[in-house]
């Protein structure tokens, strides 16, 4: 399967965008009520946890931290949460986010790759990333999120 790749420019410095990507209050606002639970050490586990199929502590996606360079780059494996797919452990992809300072703004590049053939979450993920990235941009620039009617 083809990689998903998105590039977005955010009118904020990389340090602020990084905070939006990892701080609990920011991820809760931009990622539909989920927090990013991790120590962020290379090889450590992470999970996006929030309201969903299993109540307030639903694991939406999880995996291992592969790279973590504050204000610059993070990469992690990704699996759908157990309540979404019975074979969640087999469905591993990789997400890499890179931040580059461009003047007074930040270029955020997201690459979601290593898709196994016929991954059942591919189409949904392809539609979800633009919404989440737009929310991240809006929140970083204004402190507010987009009302998607969810």
**CATH number for 75:** 3.30.530.20
Query: What does pTM read for this prediction?
Result: 0.94
Report yes or no on 147 lying in a domain.
no
Report yes or no on 148 lying in a domain.
no
Domain extent at residue 114: 4-142
Length of the chain in residues, anyone?
150
Q: What is the mean pLDDT of residues 42-46?
A: 98
Structural domains in the chain (count): 1
Report yes or no on 150 lying in a domain.
no
Report yes or no on 25 lying in a domain.
yes
Could you tell me the pLDDT band of residue 72, with boundaries at 50, 70 and 90? very high
């Amino acid at each position: 399967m083809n990689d998903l790749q998105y590039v977005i420019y955010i009118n904020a410095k990389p340090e602020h965008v990084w905070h939006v990507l990892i701080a609990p209050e920011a991820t809760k606002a931009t990622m539909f009520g989920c927090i990013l639970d991790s120590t962020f050490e290379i090889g450590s586990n992470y999970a996006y946890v929030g309201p969903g199929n299993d109540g307030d502590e639903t694991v939406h996606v999880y995996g291992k931290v592969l790279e973590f360079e504050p204000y610059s780059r993070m990469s992690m494996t990704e699996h759908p949460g157990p309540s979404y797919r019975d074979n969640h452990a087999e469905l591993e992809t990789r997400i890499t986010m890179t931040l580059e300072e461009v003047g007074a703004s930040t270029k955020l590049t997201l690459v979601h790759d290593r898709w196994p053939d016929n991954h059942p979450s591919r189409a949904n993920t392809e539609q979800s990333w633009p919404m989440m990235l737009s929310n991240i941009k809006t929140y970083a620039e204004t402190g507010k999120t987009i009302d998607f009617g969810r």
